[in-house]
Each structure stands twice: as C-alpha cells, then as structure tokens.
Amino acid sequence: MITIALAFLNKYIGYLRWWVLFASWIGIAWSVHHVDVLADKAAQETRVETVAQSIPKVITVTQTITRVIHDANDKCTNSGIPDAILQQLH
C-alpha cells in the first residue's frame, strides 16, 4: 500500500512542488495586499481624527478674524463673504 502511494507521489512530485510554490506566491501576494489595505485604512482614520480635532481651533480662529475685521470699521466688513469661502469654512 505504501509503495503504491510512494510510486504515485514520485510520479507527480514535480507537479506537487509547483503547486505548493504557486499557492505560496498567491498567499504572499494576498497578505501583502491585505496589509497594504489595512495600512491605508489606518492612515485615513488618523487623518480624519486629526481634522476632527482641529475643527474647534479653526472655528475659534475664524471667529477671532471676523471680530477683528468688524471692530476695525473697515468698508470691507459691509460686504458679504463669498459663498465659495463660506462653503469651504463650513
């Protein structure tokens, strides 16, 4: 029984080696892709967190700038802020 199995394996051992090698390449490619996707997600979450933490500072600075402009009695204070700038601030 063992001799039959060994004869079969010896006959197809080359194919088996190539299959194992090919399967390992696929496994390595998938793992590199998976790690890359996870790294991208982590970097994106870090950027979102940084932006979310900076929003209060942006609001404070914008309010301070608006207050300074209004207190200066500048003729530009009577003009409205363009919609594009308001949208970006929003």
CA distance 37 to 27: 15
Q: What does the mean pLDDT of the chain come to? A: 82
pLDDT tens-digit readout, 15-48: 888 899 999 999 999 999 888 888 888 888 888 8
CA distance 29 to 32: 5
* Lowest mean pLDDT, pick from 7-11, 29-33, 55-59, 79-83: 79-83
CA distance 72 to 69: 5
Of residues 74 and 14, more confidently modeled: 14
Whether residue 58 has pLDDT greater than 70 = yes
For residue 77, give every residue at least 6 positions away whose Cβ sits within 8 Å of its Cβ, in sequence order, or none: 69, 70
